[in-house]
Structure 1
Amino acid sequence: MLRIAICDDQPSERELLSRFLRAYFAAHPYEYILTEYARGETLVDDYEDGLVSFDLIFLDIYMDGMLGMEAARGVRRFAPRVPIVFLTTTPDYALESYDVCAYSYLIKPLNGDKAAALLARFLREEFDGRQKTLLLREGGKGRRIAYREIEYIESRRNVLLVHLDNGEEHRVYAKLSDVERELEGHGFLRCHQSYIVNMDRVRTVEDDFLMLSGARIPIRQRGAKTIRADYFEYLLAQAELTRI
């Protein structure tokens, strides 16, 4: 079930977006629940009280009372990962939106084609991505980790160290080749005998991969040119998919 919030102090704007969402999901096989807010304070209070947890938030920047940017900062205290899409009449806040890790923004009045492209990207990258998980068995316990939360995987003899984007590290007994097969086609690259990287978490590539966490992951010398080419090909493909 996809949980979506619209926070906008203008009833007409909320109705316009909700109509778009109803039409979009009538043509796409996703069940969803839509919650509307007229004030940013109420949205933040609901998060603080533990009453809500959304998969996507559409948040107007210019509202009476708490502005959208302030509301986003409030939400981030309780939901650091939830994708936030700002609704605005001007792109002036685009740079500031990076401070709260906004997923994107839409310019009012709502453009249906751009909104549909953004929603399709969100479903592909975020919502569907969270449904794809890697089962990690640690002793007699097991837990599932979303593919998108994995930054890189390191093999040390018969132990794998799975490094997550939040700094957590999990030790599991498995073969890197088995994990490589499971992750194939999901944005991961075997760049070394002992490493697999999540290409979406790569900051730069030169002699090695510099990850967003600051970790440096070696690239094997044999086939290094092909590995870099595979990475840049992936970047180009992603750029085409995310163009809206």
Structure 2
Amino acid sequence: MFNICICDDSKFFFQELSDKLHRIAQKYDINICIQTYMTSQQLMFDIEELCMNVDLFFLDVLIDKMTGVEIADCLRKQGTEVPIVFLTSSKEHVFDALEVMPLHYLIKEEVQNQKIEEILLKARDIVKHFKVKKFHYKVGRELRVISIEDIVYFEVMNRVISIQSLKGEEDRFYSTLDTIEKQLSKGQFIRVHRSFLVNVSYIEKIESKEIVCRNNIRIPVGASYTKSLKEEYTTYLLEHQ
């Protein structure tokens, strides 16, 4: 699912933009979900959840008490790096937007299907690459990001997930391994136990009842996971010869 958020105080405009996005998504077989907000207050109320889930933002530059640039600044401070597109009727505030690294700056009266198509496809490619490289999680009210290549394994105990990094650092947050597996690209991590999800690139040896990872980190293997572990690890080795 590719999640899009539109914040604009013109119901007619965001409906028009939503229709264009749906038609383009259908053309390229992209499964999208669009959330719309008519005020900055509504968006700011949901900002933490949006930062966790949204893949592309369209923000009206002059929406109400907050500008779209101010909203974007809050999004960046929350830790999200996903593409942001500004919507405006003039180019007056274009330089104000540079610090938050927008993907594009759209003049509403000049919005054409071709331009929206270019933006959607570019954003999809950016997010696809970004998701492969980064893992997002929430500790309390704080959104955190870690490079996938730094994670050795995830462990769960009583719904508390521990992330173990190669440097020996550990962080904890509430979730489930099933939820985490859905966030990761297929083939990156292998479920070796009901409590462990391991980065396949760090596995050095599979023994009878445990695997040995880099730095001699040992992780138990559940009996019901042994067969799938060997199959997935063999596939990984063949693909990375």
CA deviations on 1:19-55 (whole Å, 9 max, x unpaired) are: 1011111111221211000011211221147796311
Aligned to 1:11: 11
User: Partner of 1:120 in structure 2?
Assistant: 121
Report the CA distance between 1:137 and its aligned residue. Answer: 6.6
Q: Which moved more, 1:8-17 or 1:40-49?
A: 40-49
Residues 183-238 of structure 1 deviation map (CA, whole Å, 9 limit, x = unaligned):
xxxxxxxxxxxxxxxxxxxxxxxxxxxxxxxxxxxxxxxxxxxxxxxxxxxxxxxx
Question: What's 1:77 paired with?
Answer: 77
Separation (CA, whole Å) in 1 of partners of 2:152 and 2:19: 46
C-alpha separation in 1, matches of 2:89 and 2:17: 14
Decide whether the 8 Å contact of 2:51 with 2:80 is kept in 1.
no
1:91 is aligned to 91
Q: Distance in 2 between matches of 1:48 and 1:68?
A: 17
- Tell me if the contact between 1:41 and 1:71 (Cα under 8 Å) persists in the aligned partners: no
> Corresponding residue for 2:26?
26
Cα deviation, 1:75-110, whole Å, max 9, x if unaligned, reads: 223243122110112223222212122222211122
Contact 2:69 2:97 in 1 (8 A): yes
Which protein has the larger Cα radius of gyration, Structure 1 or Structure 2? 2
Mapped partners of 1:32, 1:56: distance in 2: 10
Q: Residue type of the partner of 1:76?
A: R
Percent identity between the aligned chains?
Answer: 25
CA contact (8 A) 1:6 1:58 kept: yes
Give deviations 1:132-184, integer Å, cap 9, x for gaps: 4566674898889999xxxxxxxxxxxx9xxxxxxxxxxx67xxxx9xx96xx
1:26 aligns to what SS in structure 2?
helix
Aligned amino acid, residue 118 of structure 1? I
User: What do residues 117-146 of structure 1 show as CA deviations (whole Å, max 9, x unaligned)?
Assistant: 1211111222x2135456667489888999
Name 1:45's counterpart in structure 2. Answer: 45
Partner of 1:60: 60
Q: Is the 8 A contact 1:3 1:54 kept in 2?
A: yes
AA matched with 1:94? V
How far apart in 2 are the matches of 1:26 and 1:139? Answer: 37
Give the TM-score of the pair, scaled to structure 2.
0.53
Across the two proteins, how many residue pairs are aligned to each other?
A: 154
SS at match of 1:120: helix
Matches within 5 A, 1:182-201: none
Superimposed CA distance per residue, residues 47-77 of structure 1 (whole angstroms, 9 cap, x where no aligned partner): 1477963111100101122221122222223
Root-mean-square deviation (CA, aligned residues, Å) is 3.6
Q: Distance in 1 between matches of 2:80 and 2:104?
A: 15
User: 1:74 & 1:136 partners in 2: Cα distance?
Assistant: 27
Q: Which letter does structure 1 place at the counterpart of 2:29?
A: P
Provide the TM-score with structure 1 as the length reference.
0.53
- Do the aligned partners of 2:52 and 2:80 also contact (CA within 8 Å) in 1? no
Structure 1 residue 111: Cα displacement: 1.7
Partner residue, 2:175: none
